[in-house]
């Protein structure tokens, strides 16, 4: 459904993207992870034809965004972090103006979508009176009109309260369930990516440093946070158990490792333990390892 | 059909904003003030002037002459501010506020977006000039009555004309107002061009006004009098030739062809700048 091929981009002579490539299949929810300035928004900008790629190509359902942006974007609905509406107009008028740019505005269809996003009662109020959550619902409504096949979400849950985040997540998952909607989800909220996405890629400094299924990314190997003295003795014991040192005094052991045996071995080796905490290696850990922030 | 509905949307955005109406309100107040001064202070002076020059006083102090004054002397200086303000905002404000990303995410070309905005600004410009003409004339009628013709005296353009017949005077002034609307489109085109660049909306308006006033000042410098034809503001002032007894159509056509060429050039340059821009948060 979406094919991003070898995208490069420079801003003021500096590389913002260095050959990003990934594919999103129909009906898949794909997460783009990366810290601020990593290149996520630039990638999204190129997909939406708002940013000109230095080189490379984006295909949406086989149509090149670079060659025929109008045709390619017909299948796309998008939501940005802090969506900017015309505050002095009502939600309904905003929908009319924005959806009108895609073709004819179908009032009946719009009413259905507005009801679905739970905005029926306030759709006639000026957007200036909307809360952040209501703006995000309006953004969702405009993205779903007319019927897109792929949704591009740029940090859509930023600033939402936990209830709003859950509502948004359930709504998007429901869209995939009902319509087989394809979603590209750009976020730095790892828990959201973990709960929503099938596959994920991590972008760091304009480079794609990881791509795979969310389940593959999650690591269920036993992990311990160990603060001990002397560190050389700790290392020797841990390595005997084929432990792998991670940032932040953490050690990850093979799946079959029996942790009490590791603890006994440390005690027998005369290692003075000041902290030993079992840990689950989260998606966040994996993300930070790949993005080399830790 | 789709273009018209999109243009309607663009006009809805433009006219839903309060700042669009600043110019309308200011002109209404200005017209009321000018007419009050005209009636309270100016009438005696006009009568004296009429007697000295053997001109019937109802020509000098009539509703049509007052309308000509309101339009002819205020539109260039006062009106240009509002045209530059609205046109300077049209692209730059949406870019600054982030609305432009929502628009560009739609399957619509950048050229189409700009054409819609340009048309909306031109409609605003012409309708504003007509609004000033209509309200100016209506208020003049209330203040002075419907009697009297039209007296035109414009030394800069070497025009002196008298129209005792009210109907002819009315139509001359109406056609003049239409040409003036076309002239003012140049200020809006300047504002539109700067609005397409990567600058703040206020900067776009200030730049447009700067170009306009610099041109106006240069045009009025005595040693440049022989080069008047090259200045935009001189060409814009050619609307007044419609009020000359024998209308010099060749001159008018030449001037408006030049102004239209300028408008098209400004649009194309603005589009080229807009087309090459990246839009990010």
Of A51, A50, A62, A52, which Cα lies nearest the Cα of A23?
A62
Residues 6 or more apart from A258 whose CB is under 8 A from it? none
**What is the distance between the alpha carbons of residues B49 and B55, in angstroms, rounded to a whole number?**
8
Interchain CB contact of B18 with A (< 8 Å): yes
Give the C-alpha separation, B137 to B31, whole Å: 9
**pLDDT of the residue at A277:** 83
Q: Which of A41, A73, A96 minimises the CB distance to B107? A: A73
Q: Could you read off the pLDDT of A174-202 as tens digits, one per residue?
A: 888 888 899 999 887 777 888 888 898 98
Residue A12: burial class (beta carbons within 10 Å; 0-12, 13-18, 19+): exposed
pLDDT tens-place values along chain A, 294 residues long: 899 999 999 988 888 899 999 999 999 999 998 888 888 889 999 999 999 999 999 999 999 999 898 889 988 999 887 788 999 999 999 999 999 988 888 889 999 999 998 888 899 999 999 988 899 899 999 999 888 999 999 888 877 888 888 888 888 888 888 888 999 998 877 778 888 888 989 888 888 888 888 777 766 677 888 888 888 888 888 888 888 887 777 788 887 888 888 888 888 888 888 888 877 666 666 666 666 554
Highest mean pLDDT among A147-156, B41-50, B195-204: B195-204
Question: What percent of chain B lies above the pLDDT cut of 90?
Answer: 53
Best of B98, B107, B109 to disrupt the A interface by mutation (most A CBs within 10 Å)? Answer: B107
Closest residue in chain A to residue B1, using alpha carbons only:
A104
Which chain B residue lies closest to A9 (C-alpha atoms)?
B278
d(CA B84, CA B201): 10
> Contacts by A92-97 with C-beta closer than 8 Å and gap 24+?
A92/A123, A92/A124, A93/B12, A93/B16, A94/A127, A94/A138, A94/A142, A95/A123, A95/A138, A95/A141, A95/A142, A95/A145, A96/B9, A96/B12, A97/B9, A97/B10, A97/B12, A97/B13
Q: Is the pLDDT of residue B281 over 70?
A: no
Closest CA to A136 of A101, A167, A105: A167
Residue B12, chain A, CB below 8 Å: the answer is yes
Q: What distance in Å separates the CA atoms of residue A114 and residue A181, rounded to the nearest whole number?
A: 18
**pLDDT score at B163:** 85
Residue pair B10/B116 in contact by the 8 Å Cβ criterion: yes
Q: What is the pLDDT of residues B133-188, one digit of tens each?
A: 999 899 988 888 888 788 888 887 888 888 888 888 889 999 999 999 999 999 99
What is the per-residue pLDDT for A24? 93
Could you tell me the CA-to-CA distances from A283 to A220, A253, A292 in Å, in that order? Answer: 10, 17, 14
Q: Among B182, B171, B161, which Cα is nearest to B236's?
A: B182
pLDDT of residue B1: 74
Closest B-chain CA to A99:
B106
B281 touches chain A (CB under 8 A): yes
**B4 shares contact with chain A (CB less than 8 Å):** no
Evaluate whether B229 touches B259 at the Cβ level (below 8 Å): no
CA distances from A87 to A284, B168, B195 (A): 37, 47, 20
Which pLDDT belongs to residue A294?
45
A294 SS3 class? coil
Q: Which residue of A has its CA nearest to B95?
A: A84
Tens digits of residue pLDDT in B51-95? 787 777 776 778 888 888 888 878 888 889 999 999 999 999 999
**Furthest-apart CA atoms within chain A: distance in Å:** 77
Q: Is the pTM of this model over 0.90?
A: no
Q: Residue A188: is it exposed, middle or buried by C-beta count within 10 angstroms (0-12/13-18/19+)?
A: middle
Q: How far, in Å, are A40, A126, A175, B139 from residue B29 at the CA level?
A: 52, 29, 55, 11
Which of A50, A85, A97 lies at the smallest CB-CB distance from B9? A97
CB-based contact A82 B98, cutoff 8 Å:
yes
Q: Per the CB < 8 Å rule, is A80 touching B2?
A: no
Please give the residue of chain B at the shortest CA–CA distance from A65: B107
Q: Which of A78, A83, A101 sits opposite B108 (nearest CB)?
A: A101
Arithmetic mean of pLDDT, B196-220:
94
Report the distance separating Cα B115 and Cα B108, nearest Å. 11
pLDDT of B233 reads: 93
Q: Which of A82, A84, A103 is the mutation pick for testing B, counting most B CBs within 10 A?
A: A84
If one counts every other C-beta atom within 10 angstroms of the C-beta of residue B253, the result is 11
- Asked if A45 reaches chain B (Cβ–Cβ under 8 Å), the answer is yes
B108 touches chain A (CB under 8 A): yes
Query: Nearest Cβ partner of A86 from B2, B99, B106?
Result: B99
């Amino acid at each position: 459904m979406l094919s991003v091929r070898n995208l490069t981009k420079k801003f003021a002579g500096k590389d913002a993207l260095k050959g990003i490539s990934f594919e999103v299949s129909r009906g898949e929810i794909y997460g783009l992870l990366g810290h601020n300035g990593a290149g996520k928004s630039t990638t999204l900008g190129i997909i939406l034809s708002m940013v000109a790629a230095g080189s490379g190509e984006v295909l949406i359902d086989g149509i090149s965004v670079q060659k025929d942006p109008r045709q390619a974007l017909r299948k796309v609905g998008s939501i940005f972090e802090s969506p900017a509406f015309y505050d002095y107009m009502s939600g309904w008028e905003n929908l009319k103006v924005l959806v009108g740019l895609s073709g004819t505005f179908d009032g009946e269809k719009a009413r259905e979508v507005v009801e679905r996003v739970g905005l029926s009662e306030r759709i006639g109020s000026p957007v200036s009176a909307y809360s952040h959550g209501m703006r995000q619902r309006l953004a969702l409504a405009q993205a779903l009109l007319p019927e897109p096949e792929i949704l591009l979400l740029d940090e859509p849950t930023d600033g939402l309260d936990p209830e709003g985040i859950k509502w948004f997540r359930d709504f998007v998952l429901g869209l995939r369930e009902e319509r087989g909607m394809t979603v590209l989800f750009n976020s730095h909220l790892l828990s959201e990516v973990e709960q929503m996405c099938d596959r994920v890629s991590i972008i760091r400094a304009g480079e794609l440093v990881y791509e795979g299924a969310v389940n593959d990314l999650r690591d269920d190997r036993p992990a311990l946070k160990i603060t001990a003295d002397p560190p050389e003795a700790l290392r020797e014991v841990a390595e005997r158990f084929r432990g792998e040192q991670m940032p932040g005094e953490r050690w990850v052991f093979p799946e079959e490792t029996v942790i009490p045996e590791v603890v006994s071995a440390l005690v027998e080796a005369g290692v003075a333990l000041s902290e030993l905490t079992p840990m689950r290696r989260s998606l966040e850990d994996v993300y930070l390892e790949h993005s080399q922030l830790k | 059909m789709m273009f018209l509905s999109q243009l309607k949307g663009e006009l809805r955005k433009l006219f839903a904003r309060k700042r669009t109406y600043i110019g309308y309100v200011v002109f209404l107040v200005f017209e009321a003030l000018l007419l009050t001064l005209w009636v309270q202070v100016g009438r005696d002076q006009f009568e004296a002037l009429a007697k000295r020059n053997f001109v019937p006083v109802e020509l000098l102090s009539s509703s049509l002459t007052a309308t000509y004054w309101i339009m002819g002397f205020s539109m260039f200086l006062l009106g240009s501010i509002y045209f530059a303000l609205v046109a300077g905002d049209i692209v730059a404000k949406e870019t600054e506020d982030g609305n432009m990303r929502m628009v560009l995410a739609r399957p619509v070309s950048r050229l189409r977006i700009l054409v819609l905005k340009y048309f909306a600004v031109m409609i605003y410009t012409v309708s504003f000039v007509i609004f000033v003409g209509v309200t100016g004339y209506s208020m003049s009628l209330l203040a002075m009555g419907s009697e009297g013709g039209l007296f035109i005296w414009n030394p800069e353009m070497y025009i002196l004309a008298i129209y005792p017949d009210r109907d002819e005077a009315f139509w001359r002034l109406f056609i003049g107002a239409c040409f003036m609307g076309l002239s003012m489109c140049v200020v809006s085109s300047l504002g539109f061009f700067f609005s397409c660049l990567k600058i703040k909306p206020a900067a776009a308006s200030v730049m447009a006004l700067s170009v306009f006033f610099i041109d106006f000042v240069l045009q009025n410098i005595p040693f440049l009098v022989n080069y008047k034809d090259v200045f935009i503001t001189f060409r814009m002032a050619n609307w007044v030739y419609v009020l000359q007894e024998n209308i010099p159509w060749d001159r008018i056509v030449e001037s408006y062809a030049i102004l239209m060429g300028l408008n098209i050039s400004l649009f194309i340059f603005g589009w080229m700048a807009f087309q090459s821009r990246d839009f990010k948060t």
